[in-house]
Amino acid sequence: MAREIRCFARVAARLSFSGAAADLGMSQPAISQAVARLERATGVRLFDRDARTVRLTAAGAALLPYAEQVLESAAAFAAEASRLARPVIHLAYPPLAGPLAARIARRMAARTPSVSVELRPAGRAAAAAALDAGEVSAAILATPAPARFVTAARFHVTVDHVAVPPAHRLAARAGGARPGELAGLVVLTPGGRRWEGLPGHPRMVPDDDFAAALDLVAAGAGVLPIPHLLVRSVRRDDVVFVPLEGAELRITYALAWSGERVTNDLLALVQAMQDALWTR
C-alpha cells in the first residue's frame, strides 16, 4: 500500500502520470496500475483523466493530505530506524566545554558518518559515574582525572575573570582586579579544585558546576574565578564579571574513558577531538 500511496501523491503533485513515472524511476503503466490498485482498495476514484489532462477528483483532493502524512511518517520511521541501527558513542561533557563537544560531534559526522554521537551535559561526578557504569563511552573531565580512566587530548581553559555581586567593592573595577585583592574573601572552587597561588578562603562547590557557583555569587556567598568562555556566554543581572589581572589561572581538561571499553569507534572519537582542538 505504501508504494501505491507514493505513486498517488506523485501523480497528484505533477498532475501527470508520465511525470510521476520519471520522478519515481518507474514505467508509466506501473504508475497507472498502482493508482488503480489504490482506487480499488479505497473504493473511490482519485483522478479524472483524459488524453490530455489529469485532475484530482474531490475525493482525491480530500485524501491527498493523508497520503502526504503517511509518506512523511514512513520517511521519519526509516530515518529513525537507520539512526538506531548505527553504533552510538555517548559523550559526557561539562557545560563549559559545550562548543567543543558540538565540534567533536560535527567532526565525527563528517569523518565517520556510520557512528552517531550522543552528547550528554554532566558535571564531573556524574560524568565519572556514567563512565564507570558504561552509560557513556567517554567524558571530558577536568584533570587530574580519576586514575582508573585513560586520558588523551588535553586542553587548557584560561581563568581570567572573577564573578562578584553587583554591590561588591570590586564590581566597579573597570581596569580589573589583582589577585591580592581577593585576600580575606571567600573564593568559590567548583569541582573541589584549589586555585594555586590565589589568596582568600576557599569554599568547595559540589561538582564541576559553574552555573550553580554563580548562584552562590549572586547570593553573596563568595566570589568565583571564572573562564572567559563563560563570561562571553552568561547573561545575568545579579553578577558582575571583573577581569582578573596577573593570576595565571587555568583549568586543564582531557577526554577520559575506561581502558576496558576501547573500540575503534572510541578511537575515532579521540581523533575527532584532537582535530577539533587544532582546527575550527
Q: What tens digit of pLDDT does each residue of 182-194 get?
A: 998 999 988 767 7
Average pLDDT value for residue range 252-274: 90
- The pLDDT of residue 46 is 95
Q: Which residues contact 29 (CB under 8 A, 6 or more apart)?
A: none
- The pLDDT of residue 33 is 94
- The pLDDT of residue 67 is 93
- The pLDDT of residue 10 is 93
> Taking the CB of residue 69, how many other CB atoms lie within 10 A of it?
10
Q: How confident is the model at residue 40 (pLDDT cuts 50, 70, 90)?
A: very high
Handedness of CA 91, 93, 99, 100 (dihedral sign): negative
> What are 107's three cell numbers?
567532526
Is the pLDDT at 3 greater than 70? The verdict is: yes
Instruction: Encode pLDDT of 19-33 as tens digits.
Output: 999 999 999 999 999
Average pLDDT value for residue range 120-127: 89
Q: How confident is the model at residue 211 (pLDDT cuts 50, 70, 90)?
A: confident
Q: Which residues contact 102 (CB under 8 A, 6 or more apart)?
A: 119
For the question of whether the overall pTM of this predicted structure is more than 0.85, the answer is no
Q: What is each CA distance from 4 to 39, 43, 140, 152, 276, in whole angstroms?
A: 9, 14, 50, 54, 47
Average pLDDT value for residue range 119-136: 91
Is the pLDDT at 85 greater than 70? The verdict is: no
- The pLDDT of residue 21 is 92
Instruction: Encode pLDDT of 52-61 as tens digits.
Output: 899 999 999 9
Average pLDDT value for residue range 96-104: 89
> Taking the CB of residue 52, how many other CB atoms lie within 10 A of it?
5
- The pLDDT of residue 125 is 86
Backbone region of residue 270 per phi and psi (left: phi > 0; alpha: psi in -120 to 50; beta: other values): alpha
Mean pLDDT score of the chain: 88
- The pLDDT of residue 106 is 92
> What are 134's three cell numbers?
558504561
Contact 181, 244 (CB under 8 A): no
